Amino acid sequence: MKILDLKKQYKNLYQPSAKKIETVQVPNLQFAMIDGAIEKGSEPGKSPTFAEATQALYSLSYTLKFMLKKRKTNAIDYPVMALEGLWWVEDGFFDITVKDNWFYTLMIMQPDVITKEIFEEAREQVRKKKGDSEMLSKARLAYFEEGLCVQTMHIGPYATEPATIDRMKEFMAENGFEDNVGPRGGKHHEIYLSDPRKAAPDKMKTVLRHPVIKV
């Protein structure tokens, strides 16, 4: 059985240092994705549709993993990757402290060997086991190329992310980059390496990434 060590292959994208800000060139990668929006007066941790989208993505990802692992020929095994979120607002001016006007794309990276046909088969298997849902129906398989970005590892609760983002913006200004998040169309990117239900808030790890433009 072939082993795909995606976490090792993309270590620079998913395990950056918390001690420094860095630039990365993010290639064209395949993801299972679901688009949604936070309900007015809510926030990601309390949104029922956000929770439904998260569950649908994990169900699809683990179903895909075991489908490929159990194949009679060309079987492969690989780790299910971390949940990621792209975040933006309609007017383009993203404020991380105001959460009930956020739109999102939740996503989990998938190996290139997964085709749309395999993805649809996995969707049907999830439907049979857990029933249909709006978010399961909205899930799609697509490639996303983020390009030149600035990133770092944020350690601590989500509420303290603004201080880390300020550090990222200082790095951009000092090194000739402009933040592409906002009216230009770039999206605030978070990669969730810790389970908030289990990890102590001050130990939680979240990769923060912003697309940038060299000026």
pLDDT digits (tens, 9 = 90+) for 77-118: 999 999 999 999 887 677 777 777 889 999 999 999 999 999
Check: CB of residue 32 under 8 Å from CB of residue 140: yes
Return the CATH number at 171.
3.20.80.10
Residue 42 has pLDDT above 90, yes or no: no
Domain count, the chain: 1
> Average per-residue pLDDT in the chain?
94
Residue 143: both structure tokens together:
């490639």
pLDDT score recorded for residue 17: 96
> What would the pLDDT profile of 48-82 be if each residue is shown by its tens digit?
999 999 999 999 999 999 999 999 999 999 999 99
pLDDT value for 94:
75
User: Tokens 């956020």 correspond to what residue?
Assistant: 102
Q: Which domain holds residue 32?
A: 2-214
- Tens digit of each residue's pLDDT (9 = 90 or more) over 154-189: 999 999 999 999 999 999 999 999 999 987 789 999
- Summarised one tens digit per residue, pLDDT across range 11-41 is 999 999 999 999 999 999 999 999 999 988 8
Q: Are 44 and 38 in contact (CB under 8 A)?
A: yes
CA–CA separation, 122 vs 120, rounded Å?
Answer: 5
Q: Give the list of residues 6+ apart from residue 108 with CB closer than 8 angstroms, or none.
A: 31, 32, 57, 58, 60, 61, 80, 81, 82, 83, 84
**What pTM was computed for the model?**
0.95
